[in-house]
A and B are shown apart, each in its own frame.
Chain A
């Protein structure tokens, strides 16, 4: 496995594992911004982390070869589906 593939796989796996935040399970406090229970604020932050992870994947592992795909079917009416 290439180093880049290994690092990206580890990144996605780590983010996935961070979803199971057992340390916040029975906690309501602190209230982030004075009103968001910590369990809810953590997962709002997690959504931002997920977006950042996807940005990393897009920048480093984008399937560029797919951009050059050309249709083998010439006309919609001749399609095989």
Chain B
């Protein structure tokens, strides 16, 4: 009962912050969706980090570590610690600059303007929205799982907060916060949330270490010494191809609409400096304890029915009840922090890329756009809630996220890179890459549901020298070329489509290219004449 009380207090605080943000809000979409592009340095870091940390980071990581061992940290966390800051550094800063200069609030708005296209932007919007929904669903599922575990009184009685009620609580609190506070309320809440879950891991490890007789080393040695469990403390069952493939997955981060939108909200580009340096350390603070405790759970608790709940089971067993409540609030923070951004991003996309783009604002006015955004938030949350209940029995948190959202967004990264850095890129290249990504997702989803683990779909040669080009691995994941993940052909295939599609079609007008790639004075000076003449040429090109 005590954990439930602690979490209830936390949820009330979140609600109050939403109301305070509502009182400070203005009735225009730039304020509602981007907090008037006024997010300061430290808040930007805390918020962009909360945007990326989901139930998947805490519950999924410990659950997967329980099943597959320590390799999960290198697989997802340390590769993300390098690739995500790199994408924020090279792509996020440029997106911010274009948002400030041209007023863009979404990626699709940028693509439409950059490539002089409407319908191609709509196709990218549709695919992004479809891939974001599963990510949102796992947040709600994670929230339901946490509340059910923490309110479980044991024995044969059901938990005080059953899974469906837990999902509903998370969905309602998030919806209320975003509905009222928009981006401002969301980033304010993120300050509390990120602080809470950054402390979560260290506190959990210290608490559990005190409760375990003999210390951690003894349990790890026990796992290493048993041939049945030794794979948990090595990577002997983890194919190196899959391990490398995962380094492409974090390319998805900057393509998630909520991450890109977050980049637009910074007050100054200098906000990105601290973020990219602290990001890998923050990831380590969360993932390292979660992965370690997940592996430790295999040694201390043995077989459990729900691996994704292993961390919560550890807390229940080894932490005092009140502390389990606070730590539970930390987990809920991670869940709600990202969920709020996803809900807001979907609402921003629908309002800006569809409603306003197709004339809604001219017809009904700016205030109506904010009302539309709020109504949309309610609809999408109810839909996500219903799906979260339906999918609970069918898929683990980790698998849903990886299969449908991460790989797809990673495959869209070449589109963004081309838009930002390649003058010759065209809308047709972008369309080819987007359709290729969508086709791959559909095809792999069909394979996943029609084939069985171990089935080979396409093979070159026979016997020991055969190359399995496309097959399902023993875990049931579609794999490529003897063990690479599907993200590999998707990212490279998408890049090829982008390049080939652009080279065979006509680029945007010179005026548009000049707007997005203005020549610097220094560059024009090299072409001859005085610096003043060069500056004049810059001005005339800009016109």
Contact = CB atoms under 8 A, between A and B. Distances in A.
A40 B73 CA distance: 7
Nearest to B274: A58
Contacts of B352: 81
Interface string B89-110: 1000110110011111110011
B81 A47 contact: yes
A54 B276 contact: yes
Given A37-B233, A50-B78, A70 B280 contact: no
A28 interface: yes
Contacts of B96: 66
Interface in A21-37: 21-22, 24-29, 31, 34-37
B268 A39 contact: no
A65 interface: yes
Nearest to B85: A54
A35 B217 contact: yes
Interface in B318-350: none
A33 B86 CA distance: 30
A27 B234 contact: yes
B437 interface: no
Interface residues of B, number: 66
Interface of B: 28-31, 36, 70-71, 73-74, 77-79, 81-82, 85-86, 89, 93-94, 96-97, 100-106, 109-110, 113, 215-217, 220-221, 224, 230, 233-236, 238, 240, 243-244, 247, 268-270, 273, 276-281, 283-284, 288, 291-292, 352, 356, 366, 520
Contacts of A51: 81, 277-281
B224 A50 contact: no
A37 B29 contact: no
6 contacts: A19-B82, A25-B236, A40-B73, A42-B74, A54-B85, A76-B28
Main secondary structure of the interface of B (DSSP, over half): helix
Contacts of B291: 40
B376 to A, nearest CB: 17
Given A35-B217, A37-B234, A65-B520, 17 more contacts: A19-B78, A19-B79, A27-B234, A34-B215, A43-B77, A47-B77, A47-B283, A51-B278, A57-B89, A66-B93, A69-B101, A69-B269, A76-B30, A76-B103, A77-B28, A80-B103, A81-B352
B230 A28 contact: yes
A24 B233 CA distance: 11
A66 B70 contact: no
Nearest to B268: A67
B232 to A, nearest CB: 9
A69 B82 contact: no
A3 interface: no
